[in-house]
Amino acid sequence: MPHPISIQMYTVRDLTKTPDDYRRVIREIADIGYAGVEAGPPADMSAGDFRKFVEDLGMTVSSAWLTPTPEDVNKVVDTARALNVKHLVGCWGPNNFTSLAEIKKTAAHFQRAAELLKPHGLEMLYHNHWWEFHHKVDGRYGWDVLFELAPDVKCQLDLYWASNFGEVDVPAVARRYAARTPLVHAKDGPLVKDQPNTACGKGKLDLEAAIGAADGPALKWVIVELDNYVGGNANMTQAVRDSYTYLTRSGLARGRK
């Protein structure tokens, strides 16, 4: 059975400038049929109230972007429990993957975060961009080195970015890491650097092959994320709808409608 479909609210960031806009857009996302949102609360809502708001619309909070440190781990855990999420996500920038020394620092940071969360039944996930699959260390991508050095960290595999604009065999990566991948990000586009995304199914990435390869024992959610859109942000709502339609009708994800 296909896994439920969520959406990363970063996708619609330009449509959610105020808390009221944020709630309105989430209602629209629920109306489309999405089963979840990868999100936290707007400024005027507590995490618990936000969870209730989302659940009253028939969805759940699939995951949240939170990375604990020893100083704030209790606050992060409380927020995760209020949202009722197990999977917390974070990432670092391109400069953190330019050498083995930098990758070791990245791995140590996220491994420590995973160790802090583990006693609470929570998982730390790392979300990739293109740069983890660009620089190599001794012939290996930074992504591979990171996950070797951080054994307790799980993957939020962004299938489009992992292609490094067509240079990487994404199904092979997804298959290799399927046992550590609870979440995938589904996006599409022309596979050209600095060019905007398309709706899922309208670009050049073979999402069927990529999601199929990632569909291992760990996978829980397929999450739509478009960093920008070929039609402009004014048309992003249609791209969100088109992505839902493609993924659910193709049997790659499961919606509520």
Specify if 238 maps to a domain. yes
Asked if the model's pLDDT at residue 231 lies above 90, the reply is no
Specify if 255 maps to a domain. no
d(CA 7, CA 156): 13
Token pair 């089963």 is found at 35
233 C-beta neighbours (distance < 10 Å), count: 16
Token pair 């809502």 is found at 45
Specify if 111 maps to a domain. yes
Specify if 256 maps to a domain. no
Tally of domains within the chain: 1
194 C-beta neighbours (distance < 10 Å), count: 6
Domain that holds residue 27: 5-249
Q: What is the CATH number of the domain that holds 99?
A: 3.20.20.150
Q: Which helix (H) or strand (E) holds 183?
A: strand 183-186
pLDDT digits (tens, 9 = 90+) for 15-66: 999 999 999 999 999 999 999 999 999 999 999 999 999 999 999 999 999 9
Specify if 233 maps to a domain. yes
**Residue 103 in contact with residue 148, Cβ under 8 Å?**
no
> pLDDT class for 233, splitting at 50, 70, 90?
low
- In this prediction, residue 235 carries a pLDDT of 81
pLDDT digits (tens, 9 = 90+) for 59-89: 999 999 999 999 999 999 999 999 999 999 9
- In this prediction, residue 232 carries a pLDDT of 63
d(CA 27, CA 54): 8
| The two three-digit tokens of residue 249, written as one number | 């009708």
Tell me the whole-structure pTM to 2 decimals: 0.97
- In this prediction, residue 132 carries a pLDDT of 98
Mean pLDDT of the chain: 96
> pLDDT class for 148, splitting at 50, 70, 90?
very high
